[in-house]
Chain A
Amino acid sequence: MTETELTTPQSPSPITSDQVTPALACYGISKRFKTIQALDDVSISVPRGSIFGFLGPNGAGKSTLIRVVAGLIAADKGHFDILGNSSLKGHGVRKDMSALVDRADFYKNLSAYQNMKILGRITGHDSDEHINGLLDLLGLYERRKDKVKTFSQGMKQRLGLAQSLLPDPKLLVLDEPTTGLDPQGMHEIRDFILKIAAEQNVTIFLSSHLLHEVELICSDIALIFNGKLATQGSMQKIFREIDNVTIELEVEDSKTTLAFLEKTDLVTQITPLANAISIEIHYNKIPELIRLMSAAKINIFSVSQRNRLENYFLSLMEGR
């Protein structure tokens, strides 16, 4: 690819076209299954280097869009670009992309190594060193010769991730990667996603209906309802749009704090909890409240915002 140098007045250093081209850009994608409009003119842009959360309730159209991008189903309208390559040019659009759609499935009568070999052979990434390295990365090296039918769901999901990393992708698409896993398995997959995003400079496009999971790892999000895109942007930008949020304060002296909070007009609702105080406050007023509490010599041990994304998600749903 020819790298066109772009300069902006604000930026003294040149920006290459590789940096400004989104990892994934969808343009007006629509898909209909008989009577159901699964996707309706969906356009999204996934920045390079981001961990992008694609959210929506069950049946919203998340998996449909991912299957369109992954080449499993054809869109009725629209197209998409992956790292600057257009889907209009055919299957080559996915040369730098890999996807793990839905749960990981395998040739169960074959071993973990053989399953890796079959997929690796397609793109020429089937050297023993590469395959064993990935199996080791995912903690499956010791079980590489075992048939996949003997694996637990968590191990299968890890093997699916190892398979998806075979072609050294620059964009990794994961459709509900923690579905069916126990809390430990979910934690392992989350850690792994963060690790590969940081260490291998892979853009991750992740669909999920687990808002807490997305809040923990994603830098950018898009929300979809009934096949239509509701919003998209960076997590910070979206959180700034949230008016009132619920936060929990863990303080040394609850009595004094409650008295202080009742006097201030920053807080709209106060609920004392067993070991903390829950308050509802405008998002932009949080820094001011903390400043005032510090000035009043109230010792604060922690300020935690609970279910921020969930609140936002629900408020959007209610508005529909």
Chain B
Amino acid sequence: MILVKLTQNELYKIFSLVRSYIGIILFTGIVPLILWGYGMGTSHIEGQIESSVSDMFFIEGSPTNGFTAAYFIMNFFWIHIPFLLALVGGDIFAGEHANGTFRVYATRPISRVSIFTSKVLATMIYTFIFVFYFGLLTLGLGLIWHGGGDMLVFHNGVLILESSDALVRFFIAYFFSFMNMVLVSSIAIFFSTMVRNAVGPVIGTMALIIFILMVSSLPLEVFKGIQPYLFATYFSNWEQAFFDPIPWGDLFRGLGLVASNIVMFLGIALIIFRRKDILS
């Protein structure tokens, strides 16, 4: 019960901050813009696709429909969303230290573990809302704007997914993307427990993600051995949800590594937070 109240408090605090809406406002503005631009620039692509594959397949609806648009936007944005999530996750502990409000909050008869858990839960709920809104906006608006139909995926040739199958694939893709973003938020929380200002954790989170992304994508033999163990290697694993057949083994192996990283970062963050002297 206390955890519910504490999580309520944390959500209240998160949604009272302007920074929590930056990403939502940004996407509300930019996704329709991309969908409009996508509609304007795809008429010749559509013609080319139709002329090249219509001899072999019957494609229901436009090949550049809402599904393809959502797929295109997902590719474009999964590198930007971590920054927007780090703005909130990075502030969750450090912001309270900077404001001095921890001094007030932590004197109440509640354990540090409860405070920590409520903050983590609230951050993850925010992460879910963010990803859900992003999905709803890209897929929902994409389908309304550009209509539904079969989805064309270019992987080892051309894969045509029926619209009902495409929708399921999107849910799978969003789930794995959400888990990746939970890891991003966990890293931001980890940095947030270490410092007393909210800027450091945002920079720290992005620096770590960029560094790991670079190492995980370098085509050098020396890094090949460690790449399977780097979380950023799996940041684009959502794409596999559109493969045929879906490589579940690879997807869950990636998920396992992401989950173990989440546990590791949150575990260290909890140890730091429990031992931390609140002096500010």
Number of interface residues of A (CB under 8 A): 36
Q: Is B278 a contact of A163 with CB atoms below 8 Å? A: no
Residues of B within 8 A of A93 (CB): 109
Tell me whether A118 and B9 are in contact in the complex, defined as CB-CB below 8 angstroms, given that A74-B275, A92-B109, A123-B109 are known contacts.
yes
Smallest distance from the beta carbon of B10 to chain A beta carbons, Å? 9
Binds B, one of A102-110, A136-144, A221-229, A263-271: A102-110
Q: Which of A98, A110, A121 contacts B107 (CB 8 A)?
A: A98
Q: Is A101 a contact of B107 with CB atoms below 8 Å? A: yes
Q: Which of B8, B101, B279 contacts A73 (CB 8 A)?
A: B279
Q: Is B277 a contact of A122 with CB atoms below 8 Å? A: no
Distance of A91 Cα from B100 Cα, bound (Å) = 20
Given contacts A67-B277, A105-B99, 12 further A-B contacts (CB under 8 A): A70-B106, A73-B278, A73-B279, A91-B109, A100-B104, A101-B107, A102-B100, A102-B103, A104-B104, A105-B104, A118-B13, A119-B105
A78 interface residue (CB < 8 Å to B): no
Distance of A107 Cα from B99 Cα, bound (Å) = 7
Distance of A73 Cα from B112 Cα, bound (Å) = 11
Q: Which residue of A lies closest to B278 (CB)?
A: A72
Tell me whether A108 and B99 are in contact in the complex, defined as CB-CB below 8 angstroms, given that A71-B106, A122-B2 are known contacts.
yes
Residues of A within 8 A of B108 (CB): 94, 119, 122-123, 167
B5 interface residue (CB < 8 Å to A): yes
Distance of A122 Cα from B12 Cα, bound (Å) = 13
Q: Is B9 a contact of A121 with CB atoms below 8 Å? A: yes
Distance of A310 Cα from B231 Cα, bound (Å) = 63
Residues of A within 8 A of B102 (CB): 72
**Which of B103, B106, B275: most chain A Cβ within 10 A?**
B103
Q: Which of B5, B103, B275, B279 contacts A122 (CB 8 A)?
A: B5
Q: Is A107 a contact of B111 with CB atoms below 8 Å? A: no
Smallest distance from the beta carbon of B101 to chain A beta carbons, Å? 5
21 contacts between A and B (CB under 8 A): A70-B107, A93-B109, A94-B107, A94-B108, A98-B107, A101-B104, A103-B100, A105-B99, A105-B101, A105-B103, A107-B13, A107-B99, A109-B16, A118-B9, A118-B12, A119-B104, A122-B5, A122-B108, A122-B110, A123-B109, A167-B109
B6 interface residue (CB < 8 Å to A): yes
Residues of A within 8 A of B278 (CB): 67, 72-73
Q: Is B16 a contact of A72 with CB atoms below 8 Å? A: no
Within 8 A of B (CB), among A255-294: none
Residues of B within 8 A of A114 (CB): 12, 16
Chain A residues at the B interface, C-beta cutoff of 8 Å: 67, 70-74, 90-95, 97-110, 114, 118-119, 121-124, 160, 163, 167
Distance of A191 Cα from B12 Cα, bound (Å) = 34
B17 interface residue (CB < 8 Å to A): yes
Smallest distance from the beta carbon of B116 to chain A beta carbons, Å? 13
Residues of A within 8 A of B99 (CB): 105-108
Q: Which of A91, A98, A109 contacts B111 (CB 8 A)?
A: A91
Within 8 A of A (CB), among B1-43: 2, 5-6, 8-9, 12-13, 16-18
Q: Is B101 a contact of A107 with CB atoms below 8 Å? A: yes
Q: Is A95 a contact of B109 with CB atoms below 8 Å? A: yes
Q: Is A71 a contact of B277 with CB atoms below 8 Å? A: no
Distance of A145 Cα from B109 Cα, bound (Å) = 27
Distance of A102 Cα from B106 Cα, bound (Å) = 13
Residues of B within 8 A of A107 (CB): 13, 16, 99, 101
Q: Which of B8, B101, B275, B277 contacts A106 (CB 8 A)?
A: B101
Q: Which of B8, B104, B106 contacts A121 (CB 8 A)?
A: B8
Distance of A83 Cα from B109 Cα, bound (Å) = 14
Residues of A within 8 A of B109 (CB): 91-95, 97, 123, 167
Q: Which of B5, B8, B103, B111 contacts A101 (CB 8 A)?
A: B103
Q: Which residue of A lies closest to B108 (CB)?
A: A122
Distance of A122 Cα from B277 Cα, bound (Å) = 21
Residues of A within 8 A of B279 (CB): 67, 72-73
Tell me whether A122 and B9 are in contact in the complex, defined as CB-CB below 8 angstroms, given that A67-B278, A74-B275 are known contacts.
yes
Distance of A272 Cα from B108 Cα, bound (Å) = 54
Residues of A within 8 A of B111 (CB): 90-91
Residues of B within 8 A of A71 (CB): 106-107
Distance of A67 Cα from B100 Cα, bound (Å) = 13
Q: Is B101 a contact of A72 with CB atoms below 8 Å? A: no
**Which of B13, B107, B279: most chain A Cβ within 10 A?**
B107
Q: Which residue of A lies closest to B5 (CB)?
A: A121
Residues of A within 8 A of B103 (CB): 72, 101-102, 105
Distance of A110 Cα from B9 Cα, bound (Å) = 12
